[in-house]
Amino acid sequence: MIEDDFYCTLKLKTGEEIFAKVAPSTEEDEIYLLVSNPIVVSGIKGRNGIMEYRIEPWLKTTTEDMFLLKMNDIVTMSESSDIEMIMLYQSYVRQNNKIKKNDLPLSRRMGYISNVNDAKEILEKIFKNS
């Protein structure tokens, strides 16, 4: 049975601190947390001296976005009502979903230089001249 979900900061026994949308779940008399799109937030000082946030996925080598954590693995948890943090999280989730669906338009910033025919032509010229 899954109850209402909420935004939460979790401190795990491993020392990791993650932020996610979580929902408590009970199975066979044991309590779990269903964790959705967990992220790790790091504070970095920007060039202008203002503190900025860097957001990364909690697990970087998986495409899954839902995880089940045992309550025994959690040191502490704190429900978040910080609107700025929730908005950052929601923005990350939307962006991540667009990447998974390949909805993002290609741009030079992402490394897009040309179409296949133009790239082939340029590479053939480089090969012939070497």
Residue range 106-114: mean pLDDT, rounded? 62
pTM for the model stands at 0.69
Residue-range domains of the chain with CATH: 6-129 (2.30.30.100)
Q: What is the pLDDT of residue 54?
A: 86
Percent of the chain with pLDDT over 70: 85
What SS3 class is residue 128? helix
What Å distances lie between residue 72 and 4, 22, 83, CA to CA?
21, 16, 29
Q: Which two tokens stand for residue 13?
A: 């026994």
Query: For 25, which DSSP code?
Result: E
Q: For residues 19 and 78, what is the distance between their CA atoms, to the nearest angstrom?
A: 10
Instruction: Please answer whether residues 22 and 3 qualify as being in contact, where contact means their C-beta atoms are separated by less than 8 angstroms.
Output: no
* 57 band by pLDDT with thresholds 50, 70 and 90: very high
pLDDT > 90? residue 14 = yes
State residue 52 phi and psi, 5-degree precision.
-125, 165
Using one digit for the tens of pLDDT, what is the confidence trace for 71-85?
Answer: 999 999 999 999 989
Considering just the CA atoms, what is the radius of gyration of the chain in Å?
A: 21
Looking at per-residue pLDDT, the higher value among 97 and 92 belongs to 92
